[in-house]
Chains A and B, each alone.
Chain A
Amino acid sequence: MNSAIVAMDLTFSYRNTPVLKRISFSIRKGNFFIIIGPNGSGKTTLMKILCGVLPAQNGRLEIMDRPCRNYTRKGLAKTIALVPQMASMDFPFTVTELVLMGRSPHLGMLGLEKEEDIEIARQAMAFTEVAHLASRKIDELSGGERQRVSIARAICQEPKIILLDEPTASLDLAHQVRVMDLMERLKEEKSVTVVMVSHDVNLAAMYGDDLLLLKDGRIISLGSPNEVLTYRTLEEVYGCTLLVDKSPVGEFPRVTSVPGKFIDSSSR
Chain B
Amino acid sequence: MNRNKPFLFKRILKISVWMVLLLFIAGFMGISMGSAGGGVGAFLQSLLGQKEIDSMTETIIWRIRFPRVVLATLVGATLSLGGLVFQALLRNPLAEPYILGISGGSAVGGIIGILMGLSRFPGVGLAAFCGSMVTLLLILMMSSGQTILKKDSLLLSGVMVNAFCTAVIMFLVSLTHDSRLHNIIFWLMGDLSSTDIGQVGMLSLTILPCFLLLFWFSNTMNLLLMGKEMAQTMGVNVKAVTVILLVATSLMVSATVSHCGLLGFVGLVMPHLLRLVLGPDHRILVPACVLGGGAYMVLCDLLARILPQQGEMPAGVITAMIGAPLFIFLLKRSKR
Contact = CB atoms under 8 A, between A and B. Distances in A.
Contact of A92 (B220, B234, B236, B279): B279
Interface string B163-205: 0000000000000000000000000000000000000000000
A77 interface: yes
Contacts of B6: 112-114
A88 B235 contact: no
A157 B218 CA distance: 19
B279 A81 contact: no
B279 A97 contact: yes
Given A84-B227, A93-B280, A110-B283, A73 B219 contact: no
A116 interface: yes
Interface in A10-58: 48, 51-53
Contact of B218 (A84, A105, A110): A110
Contacts of B279: 92-94, 97
Contact of A111 (B232, B233, B275, B283): B283
B237 A73 contact: yes
A74 interface: yes
Contacts of A82: 229-230, 233
Given A92-B279, A109-B220, A112-B6, A74 B232 contact: no
A230 interface: no
A77 B235 contact: yes
Contacts of B216: 109-110
Given A88-B227, A90-B93, A101 B235 contact: no
Contact of A91 (B4, B237, B280, B283): B280
Contacts of A78: 235
A78 B8 CA distance: 23
Nearest to B228: A53
A112 B4 contact: no
Contacts of B152: none
Contacts of B220: 109
A208 interface: no
Interface in B75-113: 91, 93
A80 interface: yes
B329 interface: no
Interface residues of A, number: 36
A109 B286 CA distance: 14
A249 interface: no
A92 B93 CA distance: 12
A53 B235 CA distance: 10
B8 A112 contact: yes
Contact of B226 (A52, A77, A87, A92): A87
A53 B220 CA distance: 17
A224 interface: no
Given A93-B279, A113-B6, A115-B4, A81 B233 contact: yes
A77 B230 CA distance: 10
B232 A73 contact: yes
B281 interface: yes
A104 B226 contact: no
A101 B229 contact: no
A64 to B, nearest CB: 15
A76 interface: yes
A110 B237 CA distance: 15
Nearest to B276: A92
A258 interface: no
Nearest to B283: A110
Nearest to A82: B233
A101 B232 contact: no
Contacts of A114: 1, 4, 6
Nearest to A80: B233
A51 B234 CA distance: 10
Contacts of A104: 219, 223, 234-235
Interface string B262-287: 00000000000001000111010000
Q: Give the interface centre of A80, A102, A113 by most chain B CB atoms within 10 Å.
A: A113
A89 B226 CA distance: 6
B229 A53 contact: yes
A78 B219 CA distance: 17
B234 A102 contact: yes
A114 B5 CA distance: 7
7 contacts: A51-B233, A76-B233, A81-B234, A93-B280, A110-B218, A111-B222, A112-B9
Top 10 A-B pairs, shortest CB-CB distance: A77-B235, A111-B219, A105-B235, A112-B6, A74-B235, A91-B280, A115-B4, A82-B233, A114-B4, A53-B229
Interface of A: 48, 51-53, 73-74, 76-78, 80-82, 84, 87-94, 97, 101-102, 104-105, 107, 109-116, 157
Given A81-B234, A82-B233, 7 more contacts: A52-B232, A77-B235, A82-B229, A93-B225, A93-B279, A93-B281, A111-B219
